Amino acid sequence: MKQILNKEQLQNIKIEIVDRLDPINDQLQTEIDTEWEKFLIECKERNIKVWNGKQFRFEGYEFGNDISTIKLSVSDYKTAVMLSRLDKYNIRNNMVVISLVITSDNYLVLAKRKKVGTYSGIIGYIAGGMEPIKDSQDLIFDNMKVELQEELGLSDLEYKLKLNDFMYFDQVGIYAFVFITNTSLTKDEHIIRFKKEVGVEENSELVFFENNKKGVANLMATKDVFESLAGYTKKFYELEYLK
């Protein structure tokens, strides 16, 4: 786990789209295609919908006096996820947005993945691959807003977003913009919203931990929690609720 940009460098970021630095060769593409077919069968057996949309892959960054440039290439969900299944973390480098979500009654909100795919049954934060969004003026924030709507059913008026870090999680081969999100909903209201409006195509349930030292300790000790992200949470202990 490594911090790439500090808080000052996060204040002014420019996204630049470039070509992939290590193209997929024919042999690897065949492996990806084969693994994808297996993945589709798993999803069909569990009645889980799958899409293969465009996603960004991290290619590098540059520091300037006034601006930090993040270089991304356009990939797709199929390539990103199947490289993970094939343990090709050294060439995966997919770009994601992640948020530590805090309820109005001071609980951390996590989600348990459905039992299919690369991270079957794993408990992790509200997150998703960063993808192109038409007419977006801020791809980083807009991608996080999409995930909060899709996974928690939240509208823009129900939370405050703070971009906290840009990290590399080496255990899973991903680069991530990490947010802290404070919502206006309580724990119980999140559960009701999830059951009524979100559905369970991606996650089977929400998981909550008290936002204090004891709660974070319980998070760290819980089976099937995404280890690298749990380690990231540990450095906060109790997250400050944004006023």
For 35-94, how does the pLDDT look when each residue is reduced to its tens digit (9 = 90+)? Answer: 999 999 988 887 777 889 999 999 999 987 788 999 999 999 999 889 888 888 778 898
pLDDT at 5 over 70: yes
**Structure confidence at residue 237 as a pLDDT band (50, 70, 90):** low
196 vs 145: CA distance, rounded Å: 19
- On the CB side of 122, CA atoms within 13 Å amount to 15
pLDDT at 227 over 80: no
The residue among 6, 191, 177, 20 whose CA lies nearest residue 99 is 177
Domain 2-234 CATH assignment equals 3.90.79.10 = yes
Those residues with Cβ within 8 angstroms of residue 67's Cβ, 6 or more apart along the chain or in another chain: 12, 13, 14
- pLDDT tens profile 190-208: 999 998 887 656 788 999 9
> Any idea where the domains of the chain sit in the sequence?
2-234
- pLDDT tens profile 116-160: 666 677 898 999 999 999 999 899 999 999 999 999 999 999 999
The CA-based dihedral angle spanning residues 149, 151, 152, 155, taken in that order and rounded to the nearest 10 degrees: 0
42 vs 49: CA distance, rounded Å: 11
